[in-house]
Amino acid sequence: MEVRTAEHLGMCFGVKDAIDMALELASHGPVTILGDLVHNKDVVARMEAAGAARARHKKDVKTGTVLLTAHGTAGRVKLELEQEGFKIHDAACPLVLRVHQAIQKLVAEKRHPVIIGQAGHVEVRGLVGDLDEYSIVLNEEDLDQLEGKPRLGVVAQTTQPLDTVLELVASIRRRFPRSDVRFIDTVCQPTKERQQALHQLAGECDVVVIVGGPESNNSRKLTELARRLGRQAYQVANASELRPEWFTGTRVVGLTAGTSTPDHVIQEVQARLQTFP
């Protein structure tokens, strides 16, 4: 069985920079990461081994230094931490911060902010945390909440599929022709590159394996895209989750990975795939 890898796959610069920041801070003293630095269990385990504690909630932080995750954090949360005396370091990806800036610009234009994304996801929570009103949409049914809004400003969670985002923006404009709709494309370039590379890869293989943890939104979206492209697709967190029976009769398997997946995990999955007949 031949294994072909996507032209673009795996960890992006924002995740790598966040990991480097965490390791550097941990080397100088106690630090707590508020939430998951990135959505990958291998990375989380590496941080804990380096001495970086992890807390789900602010009340659980036991160190004077706090590192905020790559997914971005609301300004209100940062202010609360600072007022309570914590020393804050922010590992937010610059491309996520760009979404925060885009929303601020749209609100300044007196537009109702609309975020195309997954409600409850840590990135989206950070995006809406400083807003008094907003709408989060992910499908046609969600658009009902935009009724009666004369001016709309639309952005997207950085890891959403661009085609889905563009389809929803077109639907908003069709549904509300009298509304003034401004869209700022905030899907990040690494996400776009991995999605475009998967389009090409899917045309060259029978089965696609996506390496990424179940909490990783961009990995799930790659899995969904592979299936929409008509390929059998399996998402695994690491090589131990691969099953030989998935590849019975397969000539070519394609391999890609989400933006929070470390290189060594991808390499281990690739090596395991190459042992299958």
Give residue-wise pLDDT tens across range 116-162. Answer: 999 999 999 999 999 999 999 999 999 999 999 999 999 999 999 99
Q: Which of 171, 151, 160, 84 is nearest to 127 (CA)?
A: 160
Distances (CA, A) of 143 to 162, 171, 254, 258, 272: 18, 8, 36, 28, 44
Active-site residue, selected from the candidate residues 24, 48, 84, 123 = 123
Q: Check: CATH 3.40.50.1100 for 2-10+189-273?
A: no
CATH number belonging to the domain at 13-92, selected among 3.40.50.620, 1.10.1040.10, 1.10.340.30, 3.40.50.11270: 3.40.50.11270
List the strands of the sheet with 207-211, edge to edge: 2-5, 252-257, 207-211, 232-236
* Distance of alpha carbon 249 from alpha carbon 269, whole angstroms: 19
Indicate the pTM of the whole model: 0.90
The verdict on whether 123 is a catalytic residue reads yes
How many CB atoms are closer than 10 A to CB 125?
A: 18
Q: Where in the chain is the domain with CATH 3.40.1010.20?
A: 2-10+189-273, 95-183
Give residue-wise pLDDT tens across range 63-92. Answer: 999 999 999 999 999 999 999 999 999 999
pLDDT for residue 263: 94
Q: What type of residue sits at position 42?
A: D
Q: Where in the chain is the domain with CATH 3.40.50.11270?
A: 13-92
Q: Which segments in the chain show pLDDT lower than 70?
A: none
Q: Check: CATH 3.30.450.30 for 95-183?
A: no
Distances (CA, A) of 161 to 4, 67, 238, 253, 255: 22, 28, 23, 22, 18
pLDDT for residue 44: 83
